[in-house]
Structure 1
Amino acid sequence: MLAIEADALRRTYTSRTGWFRPHRTETEAVRGVTFEVAPGELFGLLGPNGAGKTTTIKMLNTLLLPTSGTARVFGHDVARDPVAVRRRIGYVFGGDRGLYDRLSALDNLRYFAELYGVEARGQKRRIAELLDLVGLTGRERERVEGYSRGMRQRLHIARGLLHHPDVLFLDEPSIGVDPVAARDLRRTVADLTAARTTVLLTTHYMAEADELCDRVAVIAGGRIRALGTPDSLKARVGDRDVLDIEVYGAGEDALERIRRIPGVRGVSVAERGTAQTLTVQTDRGTEPLAPVLAALDGVRIGRVAAREPSLEDAYIAIVEDAALPQRVEVTE
């Protein structure tokens, strides 16, 4: 039996504007999403803001009803049998919500254990196991208000696991977390899958998805644009070279000049404090450095490095192509 089955899921939101002449607007957030997750698999759902990731997760964990399509968790329909689904799942979201700051971690877990219906005689042992799993043993009697963001996120994961869920939904758990805490979170998530817990993870951090996920799906515009293993998605840009250029103040006009260079397949910019990292994808063997630097004439340039394509490069290419009509490609 599959852990998660999503079949042609759709979700449409309706809004009204105006008073005397009300106008009704429909927004289709999720447009026919289909995928499957096997028991014990760590499945990544990647996409830009507004792509439909969180809406999809909320339909799968019964917080939203699908407008059409079906979804099942271990055979239980999310619309027809939501209580059975909730018994099988845990939900962890990024941010500071969902915990009581003036209580200790131990008291938080005791409280949620009661809400989740964990048997009283097993609560002490279960809480101790989870505190050890997430690395909070010895800090459990401290108030949560004194916890770092990373410690809070690990406590969120412990809360979501109290009732032994078969499926754990992790919605951007490492958002706003420093690199050291993010590394600890990744270790905790890896331990979950080693214990055969099925995990559905959404994240904006491609290195995190590449390290953790057995398979990933890229969603953009409410549709699945690509689905497969991280290596299979990276193979989509295997015929490209990548340049990373540190620049200061590169404007849209400079980027447009680079896009017009023959052989350039993609251009993206990431802010890095006062600098920017300009990533240029080109057809392999085109030697683009000289024309790219010429296009950046007048822009201050720092470090320049060539490298092999990563999952992030594949993700950017997939998202940039999302505006074009295309079919879902499944590669294992």
Structure 2
Amino acid sequence: MTDHDLAIEAAGLCRSYHTRTGWLRPQRKTIQAVRGVSFTVGRGELFGLLGPNGAGKTTTIKMLNTLLLPTEGSARVLGHDVATDPVEVRRRIGYVFGGDRGLYERLSALDNLRYFAELYGVEAREQLPRIHELLESVGLKGREGERVEGYSRGMRQKLHIARGLLHRPEVLFLDEPTIGVDPVAARELRQMVADLVAAGTTVLLTTHYMAEADQLCDRIAVIASGTLRAEGTPTELKDRVRKLDVLEVEVHEAAGDEQLRTLRATPGVEQVTVETRGPVDTVTVHAQPSAGNHGAVMAALAGLRTGKVTSREPTLEDAYVSIIGASGATGEQ
């Protein structure tokens, strides 16, 4: 891939913060939010950036869209350096983040888009046609006269996307766009993103929803504790755990530390995670496929009231958990 084919280039990006702790004897502390992150995104590609909370995803995006300066390293968007040529970068990008920030609640959707069209320098004669085109495409036509304070979470996210597309950006940063959105609205938003990419827009997406990343992304990078842990297509990442069996066991009482230690020490077992769903825990075991492994797993859980036991193919979520688990990262910084 030549430089002309690249939309985003990140090379050794680092970002540190200085904080003070304590009151009587305050101490300065340096936190490294991003540590030497490097990757490239091709034009027209949908690139996913996955990682736990506090892993450095949003900090990385903010460096790429000029909201933060890198402490070290460099980045270019469409050939323009984010540190030395930020104005040219901003003219070519859009930024959409999850949540309620970034809109004026007491204004209507139409007035919000008019305001941002002026802010983004959209030609006056193009503003209304562009706004009505976007309202139609995001499914808000007919509701544009209502105040945003009465909008649902899904409607707000659609308006966020419309706002980010007003100036026809070549690169769009989507930071958890479907967070807190109901399943129907999330499906509509995913289709909108897929349509944007099909039309030639380059998209960098962060999300916590593995199925969403698997469905949408051409390539994915996994970041944890500020460093890049893995990169590849969804299939390539899943191939990392394809050799493993995944066994899910419903447990109707909490598994004790001793039982979990025994399970993790069972020959062939590579990883164990526990997810609480109401009164039931789901113990997920990644193990080498071999005769007797399932029996050994159930023996380690002896004494607990178990329910449904399921064996399945590994998913992108399994690959993600394996990558994060292997790095020892929690996402807390």
TM range (shorter): over 0.9
What's the CA shift string for 1:152-174, capped at 9, x where partnerless?
A: 11111111111111111111111
Out of 279, 294, 297, the position equivalent to 2:299 is 294
| 1:303 to partner: Cα distance | 2.4
Is 1:306 aligned with 2:299?
A: no
Could you tell me how far 1:220 is from its partner in structure 2?
0.9
1:271 corresponds, among 266, 276, 280, to 276
**In the alignment, does 2:177 pair up with 1:183?**
no
1:284 matched residue in structure 2: 289
Q: Does 1:3 align with 2:11?
A: no
Deviation of 1:110 (Å): 1.2
* Pairwise CA distance, 1:269: 2.3
**Distance in 1 between the 2:281 and 2:215 partners?**
25
Residue in structure 1 matched with residue 106 of structure 2 by the alignment: 102
| Residue-by-residue CA offset, 1:112-164 (whole Å, 9 max, x unaligned) | 11111111111111112211221222222222222221111111111111111
SS in 1 for 2:88: helix
Residue aligning to 2:235: 231
Describe the superposition over 1:184-229 as per-residue Cα deviations: whole angstroms up to 9, x where unpaired: 1111111110111110000111110000000000011111111110
Question: Which residue of structure 1 aligns with residue 208 of structure 2?
Answer: 204
Aligned partners of 1:104, 1:273: CA distance in 2, in Å? Answer: 40
Q: CA deviation at 1:21?
A: 4.5
Q: 3-state DSSP class of the match of 2:240?
A: helix
The 1:57/1:282 distance shift into structure 2, 3 A limit, reads same
CA distance in 2, matches of 1:236, 1:35: 20
User: What is the CA-CA distance between 1:286 and the residue it aligns to?
Assistant: 4.2
Cα distance in 2 for residues equivalent to 1:110 and 1:299 = 61
- Residue identity in the other structure for 1:241: D
**How far 1:305 sits from its partner (Å)?**
1.4
Letter in 1 for 2:294: L
CA distance in 2, matches of 1:276, 1:157: 37
Alignment-derived partner of residue 128 in structure 2: 124
What is the total number of aligned residue pairs between the two structures? 324
- Structure 2 Cα separation of the partners of residues 98 and 249 of structure 1: 44
Using structure 2 for the length normalisation, give the TM-score.
0.93
* Residue of structure 2 in register with 1:55 after alignment: 59
Q: Do the aligned residues in 2 keep the contact of 1:264 with 1:283 (CA within 8 Å)?
A: yes
Deviation at 1:268, TM superposition (A): 1.4
Residue 23 of structure 1: aligned partner: 27
SS at the partner of 1:3?
Answer: strand
The answer as to 2:95 corresponding to 1:91 is yes
Given the alignment, which residue of 164, 167, 173 partners 1:163?
167
Contact 1:250 1:296 in 2 (8 A): no
> Would the alpha carbon gap of residues 276 and 142 (structure 1) be closer, same or farther in structure 2, given more than 3 Å must change?
farther
For 1:66, give the aligned amino acid.
P
- Structure 1 residue 295: deviation in Å? 2.6
Contact kept? 1:44, 1:202, Cα under 8 Å: yes
Structure 1-normalised TM-score?
Answer: 0.93
Q: Per the alignment, in what secondary structure is the counterpart of residue 177 of structure 2?
A: coil
Shift of 1:18: 4.3
Indicate the SS of the match to 2:112: helix
Alpha-carbon distance in 2 for matches of 1:92, 1:319: 26
Q: Structure 2: 5+ residue runs without aligned partners? A: none
Q: 2:266 aligns to what?
A: 261
Contact persistence 1:17–1:23 (CA under 8 A): yes
Other-structure match for 1:214 = 218
Deviations 1:244-290 (A, max 9, x none): 22333433513323212111111112333443332111112344333
Would you say the 8 A contact 1:154–1:185 is kept in 2? yes
Please state whether the residue corresponding to 1:242 is helix, strand or coil.
strand
Unmatched 5+ stretches in structure 1:
325-332
* Percent of residue pairs identical: 69
- Cα distance change on mapping 1:237 and 1:195 into 2, 3 Å: same
Q: Aligned in 2, Cα 1:186/1:20: closer, same or farther, shift over 3 Å?
A: same
Question: For structure 1, which segment, 207-216 or 266-275, has the greater mean C-alpha deviation from structure 2 after superposition?
Answer: 266-275
Query: Which one is further off, 272-281 or 173-182?
Result: 272-281
- Distance in 2 of aligned mates of 1:26 and 1:270: 33
Comparing 105-114 with 49-58, greater Cα deviation is found at 105-114
**Distance in 2 of aligned mates of 1:25 and 1:252:** 37
Amino acid at match of 1:96: D
